[in-house]
Amino acid sequence: MTMGERSMRSRLSLRVWQAGRWPGHFRRLLWAIGLAMAIIAGLAPATSLATVEARSASTLVDALPDAAARRGKWIEVILSQQRLIAWENGRAVMSAPISSGLARTPTRRGTFRIQKKYSAVRMRGPGYDLPRVPYTMFYSGNYAIHGAYWHNNFGRPMSHGCVNLPVSFARRLYAWAPRGTLVVIR
């Protein structure tokens, strides 16, 4: 092998190495940006760098907001999955299927805090009047997370905008989450 061939092979190897390493560097860069944003916003990382690197670059961009978990207790409602997850210091501590609002009465998306808690409360509105709705936690006006004794069809939208839970799970969540707990609905 001549000196020119070695030089060409070295340059080619370097390019292949760089091309092969770029996604890893890109992932690390995205992870670092997400971590910096999390620190600035008062959040903490929920996943390790190894976990982030294991994700493909296409899903990583979507996962960055999820890759940071808030410190302390907070509740995440994922409407597309019809699921509620309770988080504590970056760890999921409980999870359950939900029934969110129907298309004509959607569940409000956003970031809220639990404002009021009632072990049981009467809920009335157009087309419904429900006495003693258990383990109710209001987070925005009349929008609440609560137990639903009138149906067992969790995993499908069914409510007038509230987040319905199985009563046994609602009891545990009610005891776990103090007033002021962050609620993120997306």
Locate the domains of the chain by residue range. 3-63, 72-185
Distance, CA of 180 to chain centre: 18
* 81 secondary structure, DSSP code: G
What amino acid occupies position 82?
Q
For residues 112 and 91, what is the distance between their CA atoms, to the nearest angstrom?
20
Within the chain, where are the H helices?
A: 3-40, 49-54, 57-63, 167-176
Mean of pLDDT values over 73-80: 98
* 136 secondary structure, DSSP code: E
Residue 34 has pLDDT above 60, yes or no: no
SS3 73: strand
Note the pTM of the prediction, 2 decimals.
0.65
Mean of pLDDT values over 160-168: 98
Beta bridge partners of 97: 83
What kind and span of H or E run contains 121?
strand 116-125
Contact 85, 92 (CB under 8 A): yes
Categorize the per-residue pLDDT at 149 as very low, low, confident or very high, splitting at 50, 70 and 90.
very high
151-162 pLDDT tens trace? 999 999 999 999
What CATH number was assigned to the domain covering residues 72-185?
Answer: 2.40.440.10
pLDDT at position 179 is: 98
Average pLDDT, the chain: 78
pLDDT at position 71 is: 85
Residue 24 has pLDDT above 70, yes or no: no
Q: Considering only CA atoms, which of 145, 114, 117, 147 is closest in space to residue 133?
A: 147
